[in-house]
Structure 1
Amino acid sequence: MSSIFYVLSDSVGETAELLAKAALSQFSDQNMKIQRIPYVDDEATMVDAFNLAKENNGMIAFTLVKPEFRQKMKDLSNQFQVRAIDLLGPLLEELEDHLQKKPTLQPGLVHKLDEDYYKRVEAIEFAVKYDDGRDAKGILKADLVLIGVSRTSKTPLSQFLAHKRLKVANVPIVPEVDPPEELFQVPAEKCIGLRISSEKLNHIRTERLKALGLDGSANYARKERIQEEIDYFNKVVEEIGCDTIDVSNKAVEETANVILRKIKK
């Protein structure tokens, strides 16, 4: 004889359904079907579920975080003489006792955490795709645009902020290349210039060239060339009208925190 296993949840009900499937898989030759009833937030829906279970020789499992809802399910189980298993309540009670903390009792937090994870992954992929001015289209799609001369930590900063779920594009500023038009189309508050002293940049670039086995006196690290780039950067920043942050003596994390505080304001 077939019957239906009703799974009720105050969220989407995936947890309850997965547990029901896992349990049913241990019984061969059974033809019990699973029917999910999500977003249960009132007594009428619970009563309807028990009526259905009664009519279809079924049983119920539920994941409801509110204690009053769980108690109501137990009362209805006795009233309708239908089996109803609380999949979440006993675990919440044991955790509360062990942690000596009250649960938030907010439905759907698992899926909010999942959503948070996917937003972070999406932001990281965005940062990679629109790194170093590869595609100017990203400037208009970004939550934040970083601009600066070479070796001002634009890429690691973009990645760090991506882990905070911010979609960041970064654009190198080079005297010989006109900045993309899109850079002047985004609101100035969405753009941040990364400023650095010529002395610090000279040191960074010289060490970088040496690490690559190249001559540390190459044009890339010459003080005259660096000053030319900084002057051009200042001109672009003034035209955009965006804020700047001096990264000369800041770690990536410090700069990121300054940016996050600016965004909050």
Structure 2
Amino acid sequence: MNKKEIVYVVSDSVGETAELMVKAVTSQFNGADVEIQHISYVEDIQDLNNVIAVAKYSHSIIAYTIVIPDLKQYLDQRAREEGIIAVDLMNPLMEAFIEKFHKVPERQPGLMRKLDDNYFRRVEAIEFAVKYDDGQEIRGIKHADIVLVGVSRTSKTPLSMYLAHKKFKVANIPLVPEINPPEELFDIPKSKCIGLVITPDKLNEIREERLKSLGLNTHANYANLERILEELDYSETIMKRIGCPIINVSNKAVEETADLILAMLKKRGVINYE
């Protein structure tokens, strides 16, 4: 059995950047048998001495993203003295920024996470969209920024995910004649609810393609034109009862529909979106 090599990922923050870089390099060696060991939130020289000791003992590489000058200099010096390969993954690009843009870096650890509040909002919105997709959890309706309603195959799920990437919490509710919509749907502000409709022939085409992709009979009731008309009539009745805006998604890309939704909600003062 081949010996597993170790790379110590060292950072004065979380160390995600260094880990991704190491994984990217590893992939270029046919997924070499490399174990990544994390040493995050390095704060002082003693932390670095511990890393240097274990790296020397295991004949390993240190890959680091340390922006505090004193710690970086100490690690570079001690690694040279001990014959350890220590690779600075951040400083070469930082130096290029300094030379080209004539700006001085903050050299404070963890700034990316402090600045990137958008990242966490996006992750939260995506998790919300997954949890409250297709009416799975009715409680999500009152916590959503946007609620989408419509019959099956009106792009509710892809729209929810697309809008989630723009940091909006979206719940979507399918409208089916045999199932009463949740009462919570009529309690939320109608302005944040959007109804999605589609022409019968387009929906018929989409549903037949869906059945084909599943290896099912295209003559199933799901794609039956009379059934489709019944569903669309029912959905519009519910949308009128809610009093929500309605968008026809026929022949529209998800991005186009999403832009219409955001423009509509911004105009009504429901969201603040740039």
* TM-score range relative to shorter protein: 0.5 to 0.7
Contact 2:149 2:172 in 1 (8 A): yes
2:47 aligns to what? Answer: 25
What code does the residue aligned with 2:145 have? D
Q: TM-score, normalised by structure 2?
A: 0.62
Bigger Cα displacement from structure 2, 114-123 vs 214-223? 114-123
Equivalent of 2:206 in 200, 204, 207: 204
SS at 1:233's partner residue? helix
2:246 aligned with 1:244? yes
Give 1:111 shift. 3.4
Please list every run of at least 4 consecutive aligned residues from structure 1 whose deviation after the TM superposition is greater than 4 angstroms.
91-94, 101-105
Q: CA deviation at 1:213?
A: 1.4
Q: Distance in 1 between matches of 2:125 and 2:260?
A: 19
1:220 aligns with 2:242: no
User: Structure 2: which 5+ residue stretches go unaligned?
Assistant: 1-11, 15-39, 51-67, 70-92, 268-274
SS at match of 1:25: helix
Indicate the residue corresponding to 1:48 in structure 2. none
- RMSD value over aligned CA atoms? 3.1
Shift of 1:114: 3.7
> Aligned in 2, Cα 1:101/1:120: closer, same or farther, shift over 3 Å?
farther
What residue identity is the alignment partner of 2:164? A
Q: Secondary structure at the match of 1:26?
A: helix
| TM-aligned CA deviation for residue 14 of structure 1 | 6.3
The aligned counterpart of 1:161 is: 163
Q: Distance in 2 between matches of 1:223 and 1:141?
A: 35
Q: Does residue 235 of structure 2 align to residue 230 of structure 1? A: no
Letter of the 1:115 partner, please give it. Answer: D
Residue matched to 2:197: 195
Alignment CA distance shift 1:217-1:157 (3 Å): same
Retained in 2: the 8 A contact 1:123–1:165? yes
> Cα distance 1:217–1:120, how it changes in 2: closer, same or farther (>3 A)?
same
Match of 2:154 in 1: 152
Superposition TM-score, scaled by structure 1 size? 0.64
Equivalence for 1:179: 181
Task: Name the residue aligned to 2:145.
Answer: 143
| CA offsets 1:27-50 (integer angstroms, 9 cap, x no match) | 47xxxxxxxxxxxxxxxxxxxxxx
Aligned to 1:35: none
Residue 178 of structure 1 and its aligned partner are, at CA, apart by 0.9
Q: For the structure 1 residues 145 and 103, does the alpha-carbon distance in structure 2 shift closer, same or farther, using more than 3 Å as the test? A: farther
Secondary structure of 1:155's counterpart equals helix
Structure 1, unaligned runs of 5 or more? 1-12, 29-60, 63-90
Encode CA deviations 1:211-254: one digit per residue, 9 max, x unaligned.
11111111111111101111111111111111111111111121
Q: Which has the larger radius of gyration?
A: 1
Report the alpha carbon displacement of residue 95 of structure 1 after superposing the two structures with TM.
2.0
Candidates 126, 129, 146, aligned match of 1:127: 129
Distance 2:166 2:229 in 1: 33
CA contact (8 A) 2:141 2:184 kept: yes
| Alpha carbons of structure 1 residues 93 and 158: separation in structure 2 relative to 1, 3 Å | same
- Say if 1:220 and 1:94 are closer, same or farther in 2 by CA, change over 3 A: closer
SS at match of 1:186: coil
**Percent identity of the aligned residues?**
56
| CA apart distance, 1:20 | 3.8
Worse-matched range after superposition: 250-259 or 200-209: 250-259
> 2-side partners of 1:104 and 1:143: how far apart?
37
Cα deviation for residue 184 of structure 1 reads 0.3
Task: Label 1:26 to 1:175 Cα distance change in 2 as closer, same or farther (>3 A).
Answer: closer
Secondary structure of the corresponding residue to residue 192 of structure 1: strand
Counterpart residue type for residue 25 of structure 1: D
